[in-house]
Structure 1
Amino acid sequence: MIECHALQWGAGGTALTPPLDLKLPAGSLTAVIGGNGSGKSSLLKVIAGLDRPLAGRIEVGVPLLGGVSYLPQQQQVDRQFPIRLAELVSAGLWRSRIGRSEQRMRLRQALADWGLLDLQTQGLHALSGGELQRALLARLSLTDAQLLLLDEPEAALDEVGVRLLWQHIEHWQRQGRTLMWVSHNLAGLSQKHCEALMIARGGCIFAPIGQFITDRQRFGQVA
């Protein structure tokens, strides 16, 4: 699904890491971990086709338009934009070819799944950080994309929101979708069966998440 060949990325023409070679199969679940400024978010943008790599190449086994869905950090969302929560969530259906009645059903179901039915008429400016994050995740859940790239999806979520997030991640994985997500919550990943890509100035390491948790002394501060 994703293949990186001697990939390098970074701002201002300066690579953040040595060349990365990586292959992630379809249906895989990968956490992207590392310290602040290491290049985690930048890597997701390169994979999503939003930024160009500095060197090397990347192959994504789905069309970038429609086949990939990217969840940005919520500070990139203009909370003064004059739309309601339901309109933000419904943007996940913009490429859908299903009829209007089916779209309305799916939208309502997504709002219900994320506990947003009572907030659907609220403007973005009136939402808490956790409510906005659930709305962004609900929008993503309406897409048919096979590759989901999530930049800090747990941000601002309370315990209930995190539980809903993991229910959806497990559901998406059962559907055979490929997921990569940036996380600073290493403790929260300790009970999950997934791989992790640690990004650092000295290089990138790909291993089961448990290896990073049990051998922190070797890997240092990874999240």
Structure 2
Amino acid sequence: MIRCQSLSWGAPGQPLTSPLSLEFDSGSLTAIIGANGCGKSSLLKVIAGLQKPLAGNVALSVPRQSGLSFLPQQQHLDRQFPISLEELICAGFWGRRLSTRLRAQRLKDALENWHLSGLGERPLMALSGGELQRALLARLSLTDAPVLLLDEPHAALDELGQQLLWQHIHTWHGEGRTLVVVCHDLAAVRQHIPQTLLIKNRECVFGASNELIQQTPHTQVA
């Protein structure tokens, strides 16, 4: 569960929206949509504890450090950092005690599930945008966190990559995890995500995805 109470975020003295009071139920799957710069990514960062709110608070039903995993946009990743794809993915094991054998099997499964087998030794700078995004998603999959925050997870993915993404999102949702997904593909939101938070004109509107998007068909999202 994620509970936002009278939450405001943005630059000091410049809140991006009116205060938000909303609860994301445990096991729910929610999209956040809205125009570029409206505060979607910033809201995820506030929920993740990476950015301080201007006012209000966020309460979680799980500890942030061990129970929440955040997928940022890959533009915030330093691709010159000297690690391999495999080392990036293994960061998903951080803070967990697993046997060497189990870690190796989980890594092998993640590479296969995200169609990255054979690429483990490649440095980040040698990866395509789609390969890097799938590696970030593979890292996320190893955390087993009950709360997942995904900021534009479909970015840079080709058709196959997007199919894999939505398959995994439905699997995670079926496992009872709580997912909040920033997405600009309204067709995908209507098809895959049952409820949506729309940020528009500095206001937040929450409702069923089909109804909300149908009522605001000309909303620009990015």
TM-score by length of 1: 0.96
CA contact (8 A) 1:4 1:57 kept: yes
Deviations 1:15-66 (A, max 9, x none): 0000101011100000000000000000000000011110111111110101
Match of 1:179 in 2: 179
- Amino acid of the residue matched to residue 94 of structure 1? W
Mapped to 2, the partners of 1:202 and 1:56 lie a distance apart of 17
Match of 1:119 in 2: 119
CA contact (8 A) 2:30 2:193 kept: no
- Amino acid of the residue matched to residue 62 of structure 1? V
CA contact (8 A) 2:71 2:149 kept: yes
Q: How far off is 1:83 after superposition?
A: 0.7
Match of 2:55 in 1: 55
Q: How far off is 1:192 after superposition?
A: 2.1
Q: How far off is 1:222 after superposition?
A: 4.8
CA contact (8 A) 1:82 1:123 kept: yes
CA contact (8 A) 2:27 2:173 kept: yes
Deviations 1:128-175 (A, max 9, x none): 000000000000000021100000000000000000001110110111
Q: How far off is 1:212 after superposition?
A: 2.6
Match of 1:44 in 2: 44
Deviations 1:78-136 (A, max 9, x none): 10111110110011011221111100110010000000012111100000000000000
TM-score by length of 2: 0.96
Mapped to 1, the partners of 2:221 and 2:174 lie a distance apart of 28
CA contact (8 A) 2:8 2:56 kept: yes
Match of 2:90 in 1: 90
Match of 1:107 in 2: 107
Mapped to 2, the partners of 1:205 and 1:222 lie a distance apart of 14
User: Secondary structure of the residue that 1:70 maps to in structure 2?
Assistant: strand
Q: How far off is 1:211 after superposition?
A: 1.3
CA contact (8 A) 1:48 1:70 kept: yes
Mapped to 2, the partners of 1:80 and 1:193 lie a distance apart of 35
CA contact (8 A) 1:6 1:21 kept: yes
User: Secondary structure of the residue that 1:57 maps to in structure 2?
Assistant: strand
1:24-35 mapped onto 2 (5 Å cutoff): 24-35=24-35
CA contact (8 A) 1:16 1:201 kept: no
CA contact (8 A) 2:196 2:207 kept: yes
Identity of aligned residues (%): 56
Mapped to 2, the partners of 1:222 and 1:129 lie a distance apart of 21
Mapped to 2, the partners of 1:13 and 1:51 lie a distance apart of 15
Mapped to 1, the partners of 2:87 and 2:8 lie a distance apart of 37
CA contact (8 A) 1:90 1:139 kept: yes
Mapped to 1, the partners of 2:85 and 2:161 lie a distance apart of 17
Deviations 1:186-216 (A, max 9, x none): 1222222410001123310001110133222
Match of 1:168 in 2: 168
Match of 2:220 in 1: 221
